[in-house]
Structure 1
């Protein structure tokens, strides 16, 4: 190898190293996460540099000591996969909002609907004495109203093409595929019933599968 060739190789290596250092210097992390907000400084922050990077968080755990006192430990136990994306959500049949998702196991409110149910309650005829005279009130009905709210949630990794109109899904769903000619979308549904502002709201949760033709 001639001296000129050696100089060219050395110059090439120097330029490559300089470019790599510059790229590393200019590369901004996606996020810096406090993995233990319950105990500041217990564990060093984690720098996230790529989508779907696993991040392990602390889980406060209390144990009883021999002297009867309790001591709280903060071991790193719960692992989530980081993601940083903004997706449409909270579709109400006409409009949608934007939601920021930061972990793949985060619940996304995909859809929400509200309906009002009316019930006619019969009131029988009634006769009563008023000022010495017998007065009869004719039979009638009373209209009662009940509002039902539905919220359709799904974990981000389970959000497919059917979950939100116009959104093509998270792209990493392993369950979002055709099966026997149909495509389904699983939801965790919260259904709440209330009659008046002062009445107690009754809510239930259940799982529900939406079929492609139902939401298309």
Structure 2
């Protein structure tokens, strides 16, 4: 899952980035509302963490614009302000939650999981399952019928994306945007390499799950008989 942090205190943005990456989230961080709006409009993010108090375009203005444009990405406000009017305004403009600074790592992660659940995502606390495989995104392990092997981070993110798509076709463009970011210069052959890695690992585990290529469209997970 990919999270966008919009926070003008760069040290805090970096700390949040490291916390979330340790939980195997993909993270982008920007430090002003205008850039944050540009990133959020891409539609590749599963969650937004927005500071309320920012110069120029603040978090409330950013979210108001997104909601007016029909962007429904879950959003959590980060605020140091005690004025409940700002928090109420944020919720009125479509925020899913707010968390007051300072906050604990455990509280932040719990609120993120709750916001994703409200969106309808399967939040993988104890593993994602598809066919005869189980993917534990916390420790990057793929298991099948008692056999288990370690994935690297990009393999984990790619398989998670394919599982979350629920047998929908996922294009190479969507994979690049979700795994590397919408402004990435990563080429299609990078996707093909990681698809190949995953196919070999599924075969090694003896899984009935296959990654099928839909020519000219993308990839889909299927269970073979």
Shorter-chain TM range is under 0.3
Q: Which has the higher helix share?
A: 2
Larger RCO (CA within 8 A; separation ≥ 6): 2
Q: Which has the higher strand share?
A: 1
TM-score by length of 1: 0.24
Q: Which has the larger radius of gyration?
A: 1
